[in-house]
Structure 1
Amino acid sequence: MDENLLHDVVAAARKAGADAAEAVFAERQSLSVGVRLGELEEVEREEAKDLGLRVFVGRRSATVSGSDVSPEARAKLVERAVAMARLAPEDPYAGFAPKDRLAKGPFPDLDLIDTYEPSAETLEDQARAAEAAARAIEGVTNSDGGSSSWSSTFWRLATSDGFSGQHAATGFGISASAIAGEGAGMERGGEGRSVRHAQDLPSPEAIGAKAGQQAVSRLGARKIGSTTAPVIFENRLAMSLISPLIGAISGPAIARGTSFLKDRLNQKIFAAGVQLTDDPHRVRGLGSAPFDDEGVTTVRRALIDDGVLTTWLLNSASARQLGLETTGHASRGSAGAPGVSTHNLTLEPGDLDLAGLMGQAREGLLVTSMFGPSLNGNTGDWSVGCSGFWFENGQIAYPVTEITVAGNLIDIYGRLVVGSDLELRGASNSPSLLVDALAIAGK
């Protein structure tokens, strides 16, 4: 959408009685192809446009959105938004970000756009190659398929405070899922990668082979008795142990008083040396953006610095409620008021690789799959279903399944040992993580 059209929508809202207004426009195109057992299973093409308008009448606000961007539809959008705002309850914390915090161009070049657009035939070839490589692994007996995808997104924000900015990005992905064994002894394995530039993808064959190898490695998984033992979370999923922290330090949760970390700001909650950084300006990063969804300049931050919790994640509304300043973590779609989210989150690596962590623990559980997490947000009590491998004398002994691990996250975070095997696979990344003792519920 032309920038002037967004300014026209904002101006129309002001003319209709809004004291302030902001308009967002989002456009997405995508193409994905899936195959299974060597046959084409689905081709999906998406083209979507959304226009969102948030207006303020005093301290009352309303947000409306629609996919029709014609002049007539825009006029109705404005009329509806202002009428809704006049009827909304007052919110003393609502409003735009402070003007002095708004991003000003030129914005950094984060290299998020690849001009290459693959054809459906190319994506099909990649999906077939990934699945074929998975099925070629000895012991693989079936397939859940292979897929390949491309996407392009564009986002623009304009406000009556004078901010105007846009960012765009492309995405490429390949995945495969394999099944090994027969009957009740079947095991699944999967692998997938998503990147901004096509050239950064691993080969389809490498992704497929990894999926097949994971499935086969799980064959013969057994149940174990309940115990307490060291637990290592593999780097591919270790961020799942850290993600509850992000919800717990979000401004809205702190403002509501519903966080197990609400009294822990500027306190040590991890071991000395632990660093958790959020970098919105990583080149080609899946979470990179020059400004947040309120137009606030984004900056690199150490959320955990030498084990100490340094900040909450704040948008403008939660910052006002807490008497603080926004941290540039506002996140929103075309509808609804902003929430909060991180950008490129990284738990910085430690000294020991996965083998080193197993050697230090000697005996315990290596978790390679997690499902059904449960969290008490007020206390930090946490549990999750998982499967993986039992290791003895620092070496993998046998695969295990149908296990639940549990503990309190404040206690867990304080005892985490961070591995060195960091791989940048997504917008949130962590090395493998060792907890010296966790309750394990088995048979």
Structure 2
Amino acid sequence: MSETIDSASLLDRAGELIDRAIKAGAEAADAVVVRGRSSSVSVRLGKVEGTESSESDDFSLRVFVGRRVASVSANPGFDLQQLAERAVAMAKASPEDPYASLADPERLAKSWPDLELYDPTEVGADSLAEAALAMEAAALGVPGVMNSSGAGASAGMGGLVLVTSHGFSGSYSASRFGRSVSVIAGEGTKMERDYDFDSRLYFADLRDPAEIGRAAGERVVKRLNPRQAPTAKNVTVVFDPRMARGIAGHIAGAINGASVARKTSFLRDKMGKQVLKTGLSVTDDPLVVRGSSSRPFDGEGITGERLVMIEDGVLNHWFLSTSTANELGLSTNGRGVRGGTSVSPASTNLALEPGGISPEELIRSVGTGFYVTELIGQGVNMVTGEYSRGATGFWIENGELAYPVSEVTIASNLVDMFMRITPASDIDRKFGVAAPTLAIEGMTLAGR
């Protein structure tokens, strides 16, 4: 996948757009190009069902006139002068925003590390199809697998070009390769579905297609003939790493400065207080070499640093962009992300740090409980922390996975759940949100 984007040309065009905005009456401005290239192939039952490819360079211009701000977007080929004049006219007609501004010039990155985010490997449609077909064939070859929901492989790249009126100019690109397969076991009303996947920045780091396929097939066969567990309180629920990443994601959402400013986070009053069980930490690091969510600078031109967001259970930081930090009376920590014409804070390579025991030891220590492999529904209220999700997985008896379970609901409150987490040691840091197997005590299970 060769990089066909001329970053120098885009930087020049963004710089010219800034100049025209200033001449049109803007006091400050930044211009962004969000870049994307992707190709994918999907197959089902041994036949290619579809191939897709896309390319985009989406420009956006943000201008400031006093405390008034406006943003406009355009595709390549737009008229620079018209866009600049339109943005300034919109800003002059906009209400004042006391918090919006460019980042402090003293905080702007002057240089940044090479994080090795781009792999130029060319992967054609034939190679993508070959991988997808191999995954599906391997999955269908597992005894008990009856049908396929399809398999797919993809290759792409994305990146950011940013120029500001107060001296920042930079760009970076990141590649992404992916493989996934979903299959069905059983028949009639007793069918079960499961999947496996992999996603990496470097093509050579991807798991073998046959390995992914076999894993998907073995997962779904284990789910056959599930039972419904009895309703019970004070159940210890063990989240496998896939589901545990969702718990880590809830932590990230609750400590996002934008949610705190809007008063939509149940942790909004917890800065400096204990929010996780003693001994637990959550880190966020944008500068991991070949990290899934790494970036040499954020959407405002600031290079972030590794932060221990929660240390020994105590909340240390919010995720902050400049405007959110201004609203909270703080300073940005380089977590600004461009989304369309806006900038909002978000995590980078976030990890709920692991414990010292293996997942097998953790399950043995539970004795009796519920091991979750899939969650259903969106029953999480980030304002109150109320948590209620449909779930499937396996019943734990005598410290071992005993039989598959489906059609149950697990419920609690994230405030309580966070204080009862016990992590295993099996973290996989290739994901932008990473977590090991987690055991959470004291949950309610609604079953038969």
TM-score interval, smaller chain: over 0.9
In the alignment, which residue of structure 1 is the partner of 2:4?
none
Q: Which of these residues, 21, 27, 36, is aligned with residue 35 of structure 2?
A: 27
1:87 paired to 2:93 = yes
Structure 1 distance, partners of 2:248, 2:34, is 30
Q: Which of these residues, 220, 236, 240, is aligned with residue 230 of structure 1?
A: 236
TM-score, normalization: structure 1? 0.97
In the alignment, which residue of structure 2 is the partner of 1:287?
293
Offset, 1:12: 0.2
Offset, 1:189: 1.0
Structure 1 distance, partners of 2:231, 2:87, is 57
Structure 1 distance, partners of 2:338, 2:167, is 19
Q: Which of these residues, 197, 207, 210, is aligned with residue 202 of structure 2?
A: 197
Structure 2 distance, partners of 1:327, 1:207, is 38
Contact 1:142 1:179 in 2 (8 A): yes
Structure 1 distance, partners of 2:23, 2:277, is 56
1:434 paired to 2:439 = yes
Offset, 1:258: 2.3
Q: Which of these residues, 64, 71, 96, is aligned with residue 56 of structure 1?
A: 64
In the alignment, which residue of structure 1 is the partner of 2:20?
12
AA paired with 1:256?
R
In the alignment, which residue of structure 1 is the partner of 2:322?
316
Structure 2 distance, partners of 1:260, 1:138, is 47
When residues 213 and 425 of structure 1 are mapped into structure 2, their CA distance, relative to the original with a 3 A threshold, is farther
Q: 1:131-170 alignment to 2 at 5 Å?
A: 131-170=136-175
1:104 paired to 2:126 = no
Contact 2:367 2:397 in 1 (8 A): yes
- Unaligned 5+ segments in structure 2 are 1-6
Contact 1:189 1:213 in 2 (8 A): no
Q: 1:286-435 alignment to 2 at 5 Å?
A: 286-333=292-339, 335-435=340-440
What do the CA deviations read for 1:161-209 (whole angstroms, capped 9, x no partner)? Answer: 1111111011100111110010100001100111000011000000011
Question: Helix, strand or coil for the counterpart of 2:348?
Answer: coil
In the alignment, which residue of structure 2 is the partner of 1:41?
49
AA paired with 1:147?
G
Offset, 1:242: 2.3
Structure 1 distance, partners of 2:35, 2:236, is 47
Question: Helix, strand or coil for the counterpart of 1:342?
Answer: coil
Offset, 1:224: 1.9
AA paired with 1:277?
T
Structure 2 distance, partners of 1:269, 1:17, is 47
Question: Helix, strand or coil for the counterpart of 1:390?
Answer: strand
What do the CA deviations read for 1:113-138 (whole angstroms, capped 9, x no partner)? Answer: 11111110011000000110000000
Contact 1:193 1:425 in 2 (8 A): no
1:119 paired to 2:124 = yes
Question: Helix, strand or coil for the counterpart of 2:301?
Answer: coil
Offset, 1:376: 2.4
Moved more, 351-360 or 141-150: 351-360
Q: 1:172-187 alignment to 2 at 5 Å?
A: 172-187=177-192
Offset, 1:275: 1.5
Structure 2 distance, partners of 1:142, 1:226, is 33
Structure 2 distance, partners of 1:218, 1:245, is 29
What do the CA deviations read for 1:30-57 (whole angstroms, capped 9, x no partner)? Answer: 1100110000001001111111100011
AA paired with 1:77?
L
Contact 2:248 2:433 in 1 (8 A): no
What do the CA deviations read for 1:244-288 (whole angstroms, capped 9, x no partner)? Answer: 222221112212222211111111121222111101111111100
User: Matched residues, percent identical?
Assistant: 43
Structure 1 distance, partners of 2:82, 2:73, is 11
Structure 1 distance, partners of 2:381, 2:196, is 30
Structure 2 distance, partners of 1:371, 1:56, is 44
Structure 1 distance, partners of 2:167, 2:412, is 49
AA paired with 2:353?
E
Offset, 1:67: 1.2
In the alignment, which residue of structure 1 is the partner of 2:74?
66
Offset, 1:97: 0.8
Structure 2 distance, partners of 1:329, 1:24, is 16
AA paired with 1:42?
G
Structure 1 distance, partners of 2:249, 2:153, is 27
AA paired with 1:57?
V
AA paired with 1:44?
E
What do the CA deviations read for 1:70-125 (whole angstroms, capped 9, x no partner)? Answer: 4x2x22221221111111110111101111111111x1111111111111001100
